[in-house]
Amino acid sequence: MGPHVRFVAHRAGNDLALLAAAAAGGADVVEADVHLHRGRLEVRHTKRLWLLPILWDRWYLADPFAPPLLLEQVLEATPPEVTLMLDLKGASPRLGRAVRAAVDAGGPRPLVVSARVWRHLARFGDRPDTTVLHSAGSPRQLRRLLRRHGPGRLDGVSVHRRLLDPATVTALRERAAQVWSWPVDTAEVARQLAGWGVTGFISDAPERVAAELRREDGAASAAPPAGGH
């Protein structure tokens, strides 16, 4: 596995304990999901049900009365050597501006910003040490991404694994130096995607996948050459 590949701790930034564990475990990047709600930048993967005080995800309901985790808390808790990935959620036209103000107030740090609502990303193009990822999670979004952006136009993209194949990754690499994908939770999947040219793995188990790859690479390098004694 090449040194250019990065491992991203999926959603670990949505919980301070998970963030600390991911940082201690050596994750290259820690991801957090950011929503703008009533003027606050809340960090969570759960969604709100219209105007009701209900937070939900696919498999559970969350406590709507628990204090929300705020972006400023995540910025303060993230070690300076760890790159934070902020996935901007929702369609509010104020979201990109609000997140840019918050990260600038927190001081210089390496940052990755992604969004499926691409207009949010315009606020980060001039920020130093920042990688901007145009995200696509559906075939329609992927087609728009390929149609709207020509060769060399993008910092990077983040595309769901089910949408990728060798030809698609080649087309994406023509447009962006960085091609990241999710979910990547086994060494087998990571090695396949890396062979196609994917450079970032967003994983629920980044430490385990990275360790498996290192063991496999170590075993391969230690094996005698074919025909040897």
Looking at the DSSP bridge assignments, the partners of residue 31 are 85
Residues 6+ apart with CB under 8 A from 195: none
Over 80: is that where the pLDDT of 125 sits?
yes
d(CA 115, CA 55): 21
Model confidence over 215-227: pLDDT tens digits? 988 776 665 665 5
Give pLDDT, residue 47. Answer: 53
| Positive or negative torsion for Cα 133, 139, 143, 148 | negative
Mean pLDDT of 128-132: 97
User: What is the mean pLDDT of the segment spanning 158-177?
Assistant: 98
Long-range Cβ pairs for the range 9-13 (8 Å, 24+) = 9/203, 9/206, 10/182, 10/183, 10/202, 10/203, 10/204, 10/206, 11/45, 11/204, 13/43, 13/74, 13/78, 13/84, 13/85, 13/86
Taking the domains of the chain in order of start, what are their residue ranges?
6-221
Average pLDDT (186-200) is 97
Q: Is 109 exposed, middle or buried (0-12, 13-18, 19+ CB in 10 A)?
A: middle
Res 177 pLDDT > 70: yes
Domain 6-221 has CATH 3.50.50.60: no
pLDDT of residue 140 exceeding 80: yes
pLDDT score at 220 = 67
Using DSSP, state whether 41 is helix, strand or coil: strand
Per-residue pLDDT reduced to its tens digit, 80-93: 889 999 999 999 99
The 8 Å CB, 24+ separation contacts for 46-50 are none
pLDDT band at 61 (very low <50, low <70, confident <90, very high): very low
Confidence of residue 4 (pLDDT cuts 50, 70, 90): confident
Q: Is the distance from CB of 85 to CB of 114 less than 8 angstroms?
A: yes
Do 123 and 99 meet the contact criterion of CB atoms below 8 Å apart? yes
Would the pLDDT of 33 be above 60? yes
Tokens found for residue 52? 């009701």
